Amino acid sequence: MTYEIPQPMLAKAVPTVPDPAKTPGGLSFEPKWDGFRALVSFDGESVEIGSRGAKPLTRYFPELVEAFARILPEPCLIDGEIVVPRGEPGAQRLDWESLSQRIHPAASRVTMLSEQTPAMLIAFDLLARGDRDLQGEPFSTRRAELVDLLGGVPHPVHVTRTTADAAVAERWLAEFEGAGLDGVIAKPLDQSYAPNKRAMFKIKHARTADVVTFGYRIHTSGRGVGSLLVGLYDDAGELWNVGGVAAFSNQRRLELVDELEPLVVRDDDGAAVTGATEKSRFSGGRDAGFVRLRPGRVLEGRYDQLEGRRFRHTVQFARWRPDREPASCTYDQLDTVSAYDLGAVLV
């Protein structure tokens, strides 16, 4: 039994938890797991793991490949999320940094990390079982099949919890962030699987912060500002890189070059001073260099989650804040999230 791995079904952002009564057939809510989207194909002997971007993940998670081949009860095609937990039982949370380190070209390091930071799969949809293609079935049917197939399977496979109660979903949105999750997903119960279509809804935390610009990257076209680098000051007065602000129009990219010109740091010869940030494992070799700016301009940005000292995802530009002094932009303004045990989410 060989399965063709499809593009995963996607979700569109909505500002609040939707009312199930306003969706024909109702909704099923589940936690939004912050990891690598994974489509797991098991033909009864071999395992393949595909990603959202069609990049094979199989070689990076040998511990999961071994476990799937050993514990999956029959051939199947599973849609889920690969995550890495950290911390002791009773005080666990998702660890994005450890997960991102798993994507490494060296086989020896992949093997080492599979032992040091083992991953697990959170299963939330079943696309095929045996010789039956379930993609045309409504989610309510696929969910029942998923629970029947994997409900008794041991770690590292876990079936995500669900609820039909919007009030419970609201509580999950507030509580589960403390375990490293980043929102809630709502799925129409009568919806068939729609590869590469935004047929689900995602509700994430929406917050704003005033941050200081300290540099910009040139757009990949070679013209204009591709992204602004922004930072926050700590208690010692040190400015920390917290992320990037992107998604500007072509015209706005060019305008920003002129607007930021007075802040460009220059050497004795008048040349712009450049710096470099750490390259991401997913940058594909893209240049991590940037033009340095004096930290003299503040913007308000929208973010969803803090991971360590950095924002987890790209910051969205809201507006410039000429009324704010850069030194006033500190970590103190950010929301604090109460810790929540990952194990309690998995129950």
Which residues neighbour 95 within 8 Å (Cβ) at sequence distance 6 or greater? 84, 85, 86, 117, 180
At residue 336, φ and ψ (nearest 5 deg) are: -100, 145
DSSP element (H, E) containing 346: helix 342-346
CA 100, distance to chain mean position in Å, is: 11
- DSSP label of 345: H
Query: 338 in helix, strand or coil?
Result: coil
Which residue, chain included where needed, has tokens 């990891």?
A: 35
Stretch (H or E) spanning 50: strand 47-51
The CA distance from 158 to 228, in Å, is: 39
Q: How far apart are CA 84 and CA 118, in angstroms?
A: 6
Tokens 């791995």 belong to residue: 5
Residue 330: both structure tokens together: 């500190």
Catalytic-residue membership of 32:
yes
Look at residue 226 and give its three-state secondary structure: strand
With a CB cutoff of 8 Å and minimum separation 6, the contacts of 17 are 29, 166, 169, 170, 173, 184, 186, 203
Among residues 32, 55, 202, 204, the one annotated as catalytic is: 32
Q: Are strands 289-303 and 274-276 parallel, antiparallel or unpaired?
A: antiparallel
Residue 276 exposed, middle or buried by CB count within 10 Å (0-12, 13-18, 19+): exposed
What Å distances lie between residue 169 and 165, 177, 343, CA to CA? 6, 12, 18
Please state, in angstroms and rounded to a whole number, the distance separating the CA atoms of residues 230 and 214: 6
Residue type for position 170: E
The residues annotated with a catalytic role in the active site are 32
